[in-house]
Amino acid sequence: MIKETSFAIEVAHLTVSYNAKPALLDVNVKIEADQLVGVIGPNGAGKSTFIKAILGFVKPDLGTVKIQGTHVKNAKGRVAYVPQRGAVDWDFPITVREVALMGRFQKIPWYTSPRKKDRDAAMEALDMVRMTDFAHRQIGELSGGQQQRVFMARALAQGSDILLLDEPFAGVDASTERAILEVLERAKRSGKTLVVVHHDLSTAAEYFDKLLLIKQRLYAYGEPYMVLNEDLLSQVYEGKLKIFKDVVKKEEN
Ligand SMILES: Nc1ncnc2c1ncn2[C@@H]1O[C@H](COP(=O)(O)OP(=O)(O)O)[C@@H](O)[C@H]1O
Ligand SMILES: [Mg+2]
């Protein structure tokens, strides 16, 4: 069979608004497979909305999203999602293993319990995020960074080629940030395409193959050195760019 497209995600003329106020306006971008892509832009820029549109969670006013050449409507299960930590109820009584197994639910027929292959996929995913030893712990007992990794396991267990993560590094300490980055890199090496919302410009070039700079409109998509261009950043971040410069200076010292 001839491969229809080599793009993991194709977004054309994407326009999304809430209460008639546009959050995204005419966004056009094609994301190649097997890449680790960072989505950057200031607060309220539409980063989460962009991720939700790729998942088909928000209905665009205009434009289309294709996943591996297929309209997002018909691409259910091809994209896995790790929501922002704040969007999850951590008091829910469920074990780490059960959370990972949730990633398999789309694949388990309603009349059966999880099969060996589902349980194996869940355990493999926990191994990938190095959380196997915690399999029987309650999710609520874990640290923020561990919870984040378990949610990455849930997404990995789904077996999708494409993973979308919304600010996985938010509110974690430096060693957890390392651990999460390693999971992202491991997932990429295993053939996944990852699109990751990231708010820290000072690490963006180091972490990602490509960056996507967004503020309602797409300002740039490409190699970090092209996107982290002072003119572009000052257009997008306006007054806040000074903070970025300070961060860069600090790193150089
Ligand atoms: N459910 C919603 N209802 C109304 N407005 C929303 C909703 N979600 C996001 N917005 C608005 O859309 C814009 C983009 O939001 P968002 O995609 O969350 O940005 P980011 O993730 O970059 O901070 C913001 O102005 C935000 O207030
Ligand atoms: Mg957001």
CA-to-CA separations, 117 to 14, 44, 82, 158, 159, in angstroms, rounded:
38, 41, 22, 12, 12
Q: Which residues line ligand 1 (CB under 6 A)?
A: 18-19, 23, 41, 43-49
* Calpha distance 107→118 (Å, rounded): 8
CA-to-CA separations, 153 to 82, 97, 103, 157, in angstroms, rounded:
9, 9, 8, 6
* Calpha distance 51→8 (Å, rounded): 14
Please give the distance, rounded to the nearest whole angstrom, from the Cα atom of residue 166 to the centre of ligand 2: 7
Q: Whose CA is nearest to atom 5 of ligand 1?
A: 18
Q: Which of 6, 7, 26 is nearest to 219 (CA)?
A: 26
Ligand with an atom nearest the CA of residue 170: 2
- Taken in order 214, 218, 224, 227, the sign of the CA dihedral is negative
User: What is the pLDDT, as a whole number, of residue 152?
Assistant: 94
* Calpha distance 137→149 (Å, rounded): 14
CA-to-CA separations, 57 to 51, 62, 164, in angstroms, rounded:
9, 14, 13
Q: Which of 164, 172, 131 is nearest to 150 (CA)?
A: 131
Please give the distance, rounded to the nearest whole angstrom, from the Cα atom of residue 46 to the centre of ligand 1: 6
The minimum-distance atom of ligand 1 relative to the CA of 51 is 17
Q: Which of 185, 131, 118, 190 is nearest to 158 (CA)?
A: 118
In the chain, the domains with their CATH numbers are 1-78+161-253 (3.40.50.300), 88-159 (no CATH)
User: What is the pLDDT, as a whole number, of residue 250?
Assistant: 46
User: What is the pLDDT, as a whole number, of residue 14?
Assistant: 98
Beta-carbon contacts of 195 under 8 Å, excluding residues fewer than 6 positions away, are 9, 31, 37, 39, 51, 54, 162, 163, 164, 165, 212
Q: Whose CA is nearest to atom 3 of ligand 1?
A: 18
H/E stretch holding 248 reads: helix 241-252
Per-residue confidence in pLDDT tens, the chain, 253 aa? 555 568 999 999 999 999 989 999 999 999 999 999 999 999 999 999 999 999 999 999 999 999 999 999 998 889 999 988 777 777 788 999 999 999 988 766 666 778 899 999 999 999 999 999 999 999 999 988 899 999 999 999 999 999 999 999 988 888 889 999 999 999 999 999 999 999 899 999 999 999 999 999 999 999 999 999 888 999 899 866 655 555 554 444 4
User: What is the pLDDT, as a whole number, of residue 173?
Assistant: 87
* Calpha distance 18→61 (Å, rounded): 10
